[in-house]
């Protein structure tokens, strides 16, 4: 099956890109990665794409005098390739308002916290410092304001007493690799509808039980 045409922008190792590549390797998965782009030629994730036979492009942001010019060039290339959904995966560049508006409801991101809590960077340490009992990750549609937009899928991860930012991040990353392909599948299958600033899901299952941390005695 042809599937939804994806572009995955990265800046680093491409951990979530790898999860999406693995998902798309299934002939029944309803999406295909048509292009991987990066603002860094040294990004390790580019090699993942090349090994999978996926076209790559590097847009060195330092070569553009304005952020909007950088974004317009990316848009031009993606439109030429008929990209239908952008899946940001560790793309460490702020996107212009023009870019976000152009790709509104056609661009998603994965963030390592339970949004709307803990936006921005260093979120695992922020969660530990706040004393929350759960952290996690969120796949959401992108808006002009950082780390906002309709939420598609979330995974909750308990925060343990002995956790460091690194150990918590490692456990969250495992869940990121599960929910990013899940979110793409939901979108590709037409199960996600945007109403205002909510993503409404159809034909899906919800957990029946609440989670408690720490577990009750007995």
pLDDT 10s digits, 94-118: 899 999 999 999 999 999 999 999 9
**CA distances (Å), 173 to each of 4, 139, 156, in order?**
25, 12, 11
**CA distances (Å), 108 to each of 95, 128, 134, in order?**
13, 26, 23
**61 tagged catalytic:** no
Instruction: For the chain, list the domains and their CATH numbers.
Output: 1-103 (3.40.50.170), 109-206 (3.40.50.170)
Q: How many residues does the chain have?
A: 218
Q: 2-23 as b/e, with b when 16 or more CB fall inside 10 Å?
A: ebbbbbbbbbbebbbbbbbbeb
- Position 192 scores a pLDDT of 98
Instruction: Given the residues 111, 140, 177, 204, select the one marked as catalytic.
Output: 111
- Position 1 scores a pLDDT of 55
Q: Which helix (H) or strand (E) holds 38?
A: strand 31-38
- Segment 164-184 shows an average pLDDT of 98
pTM exceeds 0.85: yes
Nearest to 110 by CA among 40, 29, 25, 10: 10
């Amino acid at each position: 099956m042809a599937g939804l045409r994806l572009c995955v922008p990265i800046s680093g190792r491409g951990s979530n890109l790898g999860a999406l590549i693995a998902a798309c390797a299934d002939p029944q998965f309803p999406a295909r990665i048509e292009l991987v782009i990066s603002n860094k030629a040294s990004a390790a994730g580019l090699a993942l794409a090349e090994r999978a036979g996926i076209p790559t492009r590097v847009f060195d942001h330092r070569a553009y005098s304005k952020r909007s010019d950088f974004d317009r060039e990316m848009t031009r290339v993606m439109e030429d390739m008929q990209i239908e959904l952008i899946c940001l995966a560790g793309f460490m560049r702020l996107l212009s308002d023009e870019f976000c508006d152009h790709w509104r409801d056609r661009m998603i991101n994965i963030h390592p916290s339970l949004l709307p809590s803990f936006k921005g960077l260093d979120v695992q340490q922020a969660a530990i410092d706040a004393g929350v009992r759960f952290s996690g990750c969120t796949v959401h549609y992108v808006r002009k304001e950082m780390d906002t937009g309709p939420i598609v899928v979330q995974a909750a991860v308990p925060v343990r007493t002995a956790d460091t930012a690194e150990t918590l991040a490692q456990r969250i990353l495992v869940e990121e690799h599960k929910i990013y392909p899940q979110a793409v599948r939901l979108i590709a299958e037409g199960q996600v509808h945007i109403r205002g600033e909510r993503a409404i899901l159809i034909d899906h299952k919800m957990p029946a039980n609440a989670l408690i941390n720490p577990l009750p005695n007995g």
